[in-house]
Copies of this chain bind each other. A is one copy, B any other.
Amino acid sequence: MARPSVNLKQLAEQLGLSQTTVSRALNGFPEVSERTRARVQEAARRCDYRPSASAASLATGRTFAVGNVVTQSDGIVIDPHFSDFIAGAGETCARFGYDMLIRMAEREAEAGVYRDFVSRRRVDGVVVHGPTAADPRIAWLRSLALPFVVHGRADDGKADHSWLDVNNERAFHRATDFLLDLGHRRIALLNGPEHLNFAADRRRGHLRAMSCAGLEADPRLMSAEPMLESYGHRRTRELLARAEPPSAVLCASTLIALGVVRALYESGLQPGRQVSVLAYDDDLSFLHPSTRVEVPYLTAMRSSIRAAGRRVAEMLIERIERPEGSPRAELWEAELVVGTTTGPVCGMARS
């Protein structure tokens, strides 16, 4: 099996046909007779013929690769949510014969990367991660005529491009309502970085729910940081040291929630008893049992980021293969999963 690589020319010679016919036979063109097609396919399989990607790419302009640029904003943190998203997207890509290209760059260099993708013809399309308010990338990509799908929403979703987002605002509205119904009034929000739209939406959902209930949210109970376990832990310790600690904590990720839970236990408190914990759960594969028999632990608003990855890739491939079609937008609702970390407000936490 050393070096079998046959090229089109050799295959054609072997068959006594022209390259044209062989190429057409393999690519399913109608103008080749079924008998010939079968012969060609058989020979191709026997010789393990596979067209060179770069030659095909040069001839067609297509690369069968989708780009993902990972910005290392402050020299830190590739977030684990990304890897689950990629896993989902990768499944779809594999199914359609695409590869995923990943390029890391400083945030300021991102525009350059897109131009590079286009002028060097490296990818057929890209997915845009972590949109911010008035995200400039949308305009760049449009002007470059590079197909793209946004994971999240830019321009409030009004814009004329494909996107898929979770209804973060509603998710946090509902989460807050759930806690309010349990009697909680002092609710802390441990949000992700709020220049990212998803985090801003979550904050808004939380605030809306509070004001619908006639309550004013206490700004001192709200924070926004990268979603690390240590953030949940440190912040919870701070909150518990207050004169008026919260009776419930709303977290932007399960990672944060794990830190919160750890801090609670360290302080001798039990999640779901003295302090309730509710997290947004991206259904990360490594935080969940592989078999779903066990009772959920964290109460959470859940939506699978991996499923989102799958769908976003489908949407992207559709834009690539039928650019004339109209863009699609999907807004997914997160599902409330009640676990053991929430419970009715209890005496202790009353201010």
Complex alpha-carbon distance, A145 and B77, angstroms: 35
Determine if A101 and B103 form an interchain contact, defined as CB atoms under 8 angstroms apart: no
Which residues from chain B contact A5 at a C-beta distance below 8 Å?
118-119
In the complex, the count of this chain's copies comes to 2
Minimal beta-carbon separation of A258 from chain B (angstroms):
6
- Indicate the member of A2, A50, A83, A94 with the most B CB atoms within 10 Å: A83
Asked if A55 is an interface residue, CB under 8 A from chain B, the answer is: yes
Contact mask for chain A residues 93-127; partner B; CB cutoff 8 A; 1 contact, 0 none: 11000011111110000000001101111100000
Determine if A77 and B294 form an interchain contact, defined as CB atoms under 8 angstroms apart: no
- Which residues 69-89 of A have a CB within 8 angstroms of B? 70, 72, 74, 76-80, 82-84, 86-87
Which residues from chain B contact A130 at a C-beta distance below 8 Å?
none
Contact mask for chain A residues 143-160; partner B; CB cutoff 8 A; 1 contact, 0 none: 111000000000000000
Asked if A289 is an interface residue, CB under 8 A from chain B, the answer is: yes
Determine if B121 and A229 form an interchain contact, defined as CB atoms under 8 angstroms apart: no
Among listed A9-17, A21-29, A280-288, interface-contacting one: A280-288
Among listed A32-40, A57-65, A166-174, A314-322, interface-contacting one: A57-65
Asked if A337 is an interface residue, CB under 8 A from chain B, the answer is: no
Which residues from chain B contact A115 at a C-beta distance below 8 Å?
1, 48
Q: Which one, B63, B86, B105, B143, contacts A94 given CB within 8 A?
A: B105
Determine if B94 and A255 form an interchain contact, defined as CB atoms under 8 angstroms apart: no
Complex alpha-carbon distance, A52 and B123, angstroms: 11
Determine if B77 and A91 form an interchain contact, defined as CB atoms under 8 angstroms apart: no
Size of interface on A: residues with Cβ below 8 Å to B: 73
* Nearest opposing residue in chain B for A74, CB measure: B290
Which residues from chain B contact A234 at a C-beta distance below 8 Å?
289, 294
Complex alpha-carbon distance, A226 and B58, angstroms: 43
Known: A63-B54, A102-B86. A255 touches B286 (CB 8 A): yes
Asked if A245 is an interface residue, CB under 8 A from chain B, the answer is: no
Known: A83-B83, A84-B78. A230 touches B288 (CB 8 A): yes
Determine if A101 and B104 form an interchain contact, defined as CB atoms under 8 angstroms apart: no
Complex alpha-carbon distance, A290 and B231, angstroms: 9
Determine if B76 and A120 form an interchain contact, defined as CB atoms under 8 angstroms apart: no
* Nearest opposing residue in chain B for A7, CB measure: B119
Complex alpha-carbon distance, A118 and B49, angstroms: 11
Which residues from chain B contact A82 at a C-beta distance below 8 Å?
83
* Nearest opposing residue in chain B for A3, CB measure: B145
Known: A90-B103, A227-B286, A229-B288. 17 other contacts (CB 8 A): A52-B121, A54-B54, A54-B63, A72-B87, A78-B83, A78-B84, A94-B103, A94-B105, A100-B102, A100-B103, A101-B101, A230-B287, A230-B290, A233-B297, A234-B294, A261-B262, A265-B265
A-B complex: 8 closest residue pairs judged by Cβ atoms: A83-B83, A54-B57, A265-B265, A90-B104, A78-B87, A230-B289, A53-B120, A54-B58
Q: Which residues of A contact B (CB under 8 A)?
A: 1-5, 48-55, 57-58, 63, 65, 70, 72, 74, 76-80, 82-84, 86-87, 90-91, 93-94, 99-105, 115-116, 118-122, 143-145, 226-231, 233-234, 255, 258, 261-262, 265, 284-290, 294, 297
Offer 5 A-B interface pairs, CB within 8 angstroms, sorted by A.
Answer: A52-B119, A76-B285, A78-B87, A229-B258, A265-B265
